[in-house]
Amino acid sequence: MQRYFVNEKLGNSFFIDNDDSYHITKVMRMQLKDKIEIVFQDKLFLCEIIELSPNVKCNIIKEFNDKSLFLPKVSIAQSLVKEQKMDYILQKSTELGVYEIIPIYTERSIIKVKDKYDQKIERWKKVVKEASEQSKRFTLPYLNRIINLNELIKEKYDFKFVCSVNEKTKTIKNVLSNVNINDTILFVIGPEGGFSEKEEKLLVDNGFQPITLGENVLRTETSSTFVLSVINYHFMR
């Protein structure tokens, strides 16, 4: 069953925005009385379509609001990469349950978002929303604004890790043994050329613990998927 995130509720009904209405009517070719799932304010609703034009409207049949938490709140600070790779990172991180995504500027970031900043953020939000619907999430990950490392080091988390090619012994498996379900965790992932020595020192000097993701050096777009997969396995019910 298709799932959609909406922002508008009136009484017992939901009103679907233009893009999702198009998907429902033109792509999925749904009809009156077809059922869809709606997520609104972190609650899930089973709904029946009662209007198709000009926009889809549906009525609530049943509400589900008991979703047990089984992952800690994991944030990924991801160095900016090219569009296709960034889309992949956003999509897979969302599917794997990331709580927050923080795009960061680094010295070796290939992409410098300037004039098209707003369009870039809107595109990323769309990727995250579609991945959330596909993976049947109850919540959308929080997509932070783009920041630099000097701003990132001021953020407060229970655990802060930097994925480092210089660290050889302290693994993600080791550090997760100290983490519990109620903790907040931040993983920082470098660009394609890695962090500079100056950047990694800045992070370590400000409480970020360097960890290795294994013997093989992973691509930046692989790292977040690996981290979140390990966390899912570690906390699997």
Name beta bridge partners: 211.
Answer: 163
What one-character-per-residue DSSP string does 129-184 give? HHHHHHTT-SSPPEEPPPEEHHHHTT---SEEEEE-SS--S-BHHHHHTT--TT-E
pLDDT of residue 69: 62
* Contact in structure between 103 and 75 (CB atoms under 8 Å): no
Taking the C-alpha atoms of residue 233 and residue 237, their distance in angstroms, rounded to an integer, is: 9
Core vs surface per residue 34-72: b (16+ CB within 10 A) or e: bebbbbbeeebbebebeebeeebbbebeeeeeeeeeebb
For residue range 133-173, list pLDDT tens digits in order. 999 998 899 999 999 999 999 999 999 999 998 888 899 99
Taking the C-alpha atoms of residue 45 and residue 62, their distance in angstroms, rounded to an integer, is: 6
* Contact in structure between 101 and 128 (CB atoms under 8 Å): yes
In the chain, where the domains are located? 3-64, 73-234
pLDDT of residue 169: 82
pLDDT of residue 115: 60
pLDDT of residue 215: 86
Per CATH, the number for 73-234 is 3.40.1280.10
For residue range 56-80, list pLDDT tens digits in order. 999 999 998 756 567 899 999 999 9
Same fold, 3-64 and 73-234: no
> Does residue 116 or residue 229 have the better pLDDT?
229
Look at domain 3-64 and name its CATH class: mainly beta
Give mean pLDDT, residues 15-20. 90
For residue range 219-232, list pLDDT tens digits in order. 999 999 999 999 99
Residue 175 has pLDDT above 80, yes or no: yes
Give mean pLDDT, residues 4-27. 91
> Does residue 129 or residue 115 have the better pLDDT?
129
Of 24, 75, 27, 85, the residue nearest 52 (C-alpha):
24
For residue range 189-219, list pLDDT tens digits in order. 999 888 999 999 999 999 999 999 988 889 9
* Contact in structure between 210 and 188 (CB atoms under 8 Å): no
